[in-house]
Chain A
Amino acid sequence: MRKLIFPVVLFSILLIGCTDSKKKEEAARIEKEIVVADSIAKEVEKAKQDIEQSIQSVDSLLNEL
């Protein structure tokens, strides 16, 4: 009986450790995904604002002609 206790405890500790690390990996992956998506969205928004500003300036110049 005593011989069984040690391997069982060791196995359960390893199992807990593995599941915890998997959870952490998943959380890190999701976090990375969010950061990348947010950064792309910011970049795209900046580009859009730049284009719109250029359109407005061209528009005002064309009206002056």
Chain B
Amino acid sequence: MGRIEGLNRGEWLELFCFMTSSARGLIGEPELYGPFRITDSIEKIIELLENQKLIDDSFLKAEKDKIREKKLTVVADRDAFIAFLDELVMDFTKELKKETL
């Protein structure tokens, strides 16, 4: 029950608890908390995939580190936080452009 083919079920449940409680909590929270929680979720997903040895991806690791470094601008500098979101979008878009899908 606790582990499915190498995946730690409890750690995924932690993530889903974070995402569902974020979704519920965001009703009534400041507008910028929405994008903040989504970027926080991306960081947590990448970290979880790394911890469970499911990925070894230098691009995703760099994005995780960038999120960790810049996400808290949300409480200090609205413009810097929005610029960080723009940067993230373009980072992921450029990476996606290389993919054949």
Partners in one complex: no
Which residues from chain B sit less than 8 Å from chain A, CB to CB? none
Which residues from chain A sit less than 8 Å from chain B, CB to CB? none
